[in-house]
Amino acid sequence: MTVLRDAAMFGLGATLAFSPQMLAWWAIYGSPLTIPQGEGFMLWGASKPAFTLFASRNGLLSWSPIVSLALLGLTLLALRRGPARALAATLLLVFAAEAYILGSTRDWWAGWAFGGRRYLGCSVIFGLGLAALIDLVYAWTLRHSRLVLAGLPVLGVSLFALCNLSLTHDYLFAEIERGASQPMRAASERAALRGVGAIYDTIGHPGAVPANWWFAWRAGVAPERYDAVSGEELTTPTGRRGEKYFIWLDDPRWGVTGFGPRTEHAGQRASLVEGTDARLVLPLRKSQRLRARLRLAAIDPGASLRISIGGVEVFTAEVAAGWHSYDFEVPAQALSAGFNWADATQSSAIAWGSLQLWPDGQPRPAFAGATDAAPR
């Protein structure tokens, strides 16, 4: 009975607290419970909870890494025996549900918000998790105080040694003046930046771990590359007529491996793929059939190109000299929600221009000066 009474009191308090919002919605929209942005605002079958946490586009943990420590503390609390175990486990489930709900909004990044603003309602959860972690660290430190005291000098000497290595580098490569008085701020900043750079070279942005590790393993690139493309969506389903997405393959967000820097070929912007293999990434909100238009120009005669996505071959063509547009379709079964990897294999050097994508059923967009060629 006590549990039922407490639950009833909690429900009554929550209703009273939320009643001003319901009264406002009732006055504005004619209903006390509604979605002000419209029914199409919530895409329940295309949620992006991982992006709301790890993406450089306002991801909660990317912009507020301390929340990662709070979630770690809450997880450790849920694994410990004791009266708080059930509460911590329940709060973790609440947080997971909140991530799914926020990931289901059409603009899961919340516009120009700072970081994960929409997670503000989870502040109590984060506070409890951080307090639990601080308590665990404090207790461990008391039990292993001699080890901690012995480790502090080692840590301090190591940091000073790294600073000296940075200054030695600057001296050897004449980045500082030898045998002269000079400001030391620039040299100190370089030492700090080298430390940060070493972290990014090794694990990427700490707030994006482990999502950036998975991306690096799948794409064959450094973890830091995850930040450039995380949070991007091609052909976000808004339902607008003529909806499409236009990308360049010299952009490192899309051209993952094999694509060279921006250059010009035959008077047009291009990226040269001189080897045989290249890979691009197509991040999507949901699986859907797409139509595509790819601008290509063969550098060597007799060039051919094959593109497969998710193991499904979607494009095979002989590429002609000079710029041409090649239209093709990508079936829905080749695409999935999230990152899709398009692997391209060419027989000889090809210059890549732009790639246009638009949902099937939308009118084909115009492309000034295009010469259409159909892949076989």
Is residue 301 within 8 A of residue 321, CB to CB? The reply is: yes
Please report the pLDDT score of residue 364 as a whole number.
57
Is residue 175 within 8 A of residue 169, CB to CB? The reply is: yes
C-alpha 122: how far from chain center: 21
State the CB neighbour count (10 A cutoff) for residue 55.
25
Please report the pLDDT score of residue 117 as a whole number.
92
By C-alpha distance, which of 85, 83, 103 is closest to 95? Answer: 103
| Domains recognised in the chain with CATH numbers | 25-142 (no CATH), 145-227 (no CATH), 234-361 (2.60.120.260)
Distance CA 175, CA 177 (A): 7
Can you list the alpha helix ranges (DSSP code H) found in the chain? 2-29, 49-54, 60-63, 66-79, 85-103, 123-143, 145-172, 185-203, 211-219, 226-229
- Run of H or E including 246: strand 245-248
> Residue-wise pLDDT tens for the chain (376 aa)?
777 887 788 888 888 888 888 888 788 877 777 777 767 788 888 899 999 999 999 999 999 999 999 999 999 999 988 888 999 999 999 999 999 999 999 889 988 889 999 999 999 999 999 999 999 999 999 999 999 999 999 999 999 999 999 999 999 998 888 888 889 999 999 999 999 999 999 999 999 999 999 999 988 899 999 999 998 888 654 445 545 688 899 998 899 999 999 999 999 999 998 788 999 999 988 888 999 999 999 998 889 999 999 889 999 999 999 999 999 999 999 998 889 999 999 999 999 999 998 887 665 555 433 444 444 3
Residues 6+ away with beta carbon under 8 Å from 173: none
Burial call 186-198: b when 16+ CB within 10 Å, e when fewer: ebeebbeeeeeee
Please report the pLDDT score of residue 133 as a whole number.
96
Identity of residue 180: A
Please report the pLDDT score of residue 376 as a whole number.
39
Burial call 328-351: b when 16+ CB within 10 Å, e when fewer: bebeeebbebbbbbbbbebebebb
Distance CA 203, CA 242 (A): 40
